[in-house]
Amino acid sequence: MKLVLLHKYIIVFVLSLVSATAFSQTVVIDGEIRPRVEYRDGYSKPLLEANDPGVFTIQRTRLGMTFTSAILTTQITLQDARTYGQNANASADATTGIYEAWAEMLLAQGGSFKIGRQPLNYDDKRLFSSPAWSNTGTAHDVALFKYNINDFQAHLGLAYNNNTLISSEAYYNPLSNYRYMGFLWLSKELAKGLTLTAIGIDEGVQDTVSVGLTYHKKVSMNHAYTFGGNLKFQSEASPVSALATAYFQAGNNFKENKMNGKMLALKVDYKISNTIAANIGTDYFSGDSNGTTDKTQSNFKKLYGADHTFNGIMDYWNTPLTQGLLDYYGGVTGKIGKNLSLEGAFHVFNTEFSGKNKKNIAFGKDLGSEFDFIMNYKLNTWTVLQAGWCKYFSNNNTLAAKDITTSSTVVPAIRNPQWAYVMLTIKPKFL
């Protein structure tokens, strides 16, 4: 009798282990279907009056599978990004690729190792981001060591790129802008609601001027350094939140010129009520003067952040001019009911230095201004409808800075710069 009871206990114990193991593992299969129609009548730069606006539809389709257990998490996401009509109706051309494919393993308490193709998102998303707006997204082939204990986090990332399999050193065609990349990110909560982060990035970039020389048979790279941090205050007990950002650059660029760029930003948000909030801020990107003979690159080098998020969503200055950029902005957001939200923002743009365009036409510091309006409406659990309309108020400096003006005596006629879009985002969970 005792032997029978012992067998029963053993069976119950084994079944409980199997059950616990099964339930500690989860598999999620989800997707995204996101078509977007755009009307471009001066998007990114003014459109000459002789041209008609552009209208097109693009779509991003993703299918993702996530596996999670106590010690292992993996993510594989397939992606197809296309413009409607770019492939024939009966085309056999392959269009689907891998957007992300990574595995993260628990090494010790608070420590993990993540390797594979993966998006990187840090702080204000100016340096590293997987931009939601982009039709393709941004991902890196990187090994990432992560440590997280209490209110302290540390991430160490390492990447090394090649065009193909190599048996000896060969010149890397910089498809990813860097041959080697390493970064260290630290985050610490200083007080309740106050967080300080710091980041240092080392990019190994190859010389693109002397391609073909024996120099490229040796592993030798210029190193471009970006470092800085963010100080963020956000608390549910306070209607005010703020973010201060400072990044600096040093080292050498791909031309072996010294780098001395800086980027400073400050944004303050104020929650007026449960449904209305306002914000004000400024961004500063250092620039170079056209008249200088110094080979030092003082304009801030753009990295892998979210272009569309900053400096106006018409993307006139998402890559700042060589002469630098100052963006003064303010905005208001509001909610109407549970499903509808509205957002409006106004930007005023200037350069740090006056400049000259490719045709040697001079332009001043005032680059014009921009108004952005966005509406989001949640149709159901899986579907969000977003629409936007933007207007750019250009001037003669805008036309010269965008290389539209080619004569010092003739100002070309342009259309009224505006841009509109409608985007439907459907994110079902299949399993």
pLDDT tens-place string over residues 70-97: 999 999 999 999 999 988 887 777 678 9
pLDDT of amino acid 348: 98
CA neighbor of 211 nearest in space, from 257, 254, 167: 254
Strand 194-205, strand 222-233: pairing: antiparallel
pLDDT of amino acid 3: 42
For the chain, residues with pLDDT lower than 50 are: 1-7, 9-22
For the entire predicted model, the pTM comes to: 0.89
pLDDT of amino acid 205: 85
pLDDT of amino acid 234: 96
pLDDT of amino acid 210: 61
Inter-residue contact 329 to 281 (CB < 8 Å): yes
pLDDT of amino acid 289: 84
pLDDT of amino acid 6: 40
C-alpha separations of 313 from 212, 306, 369, 424 in Å: 40, 11, 12, 18
pLDDT of amino acid 291: 62
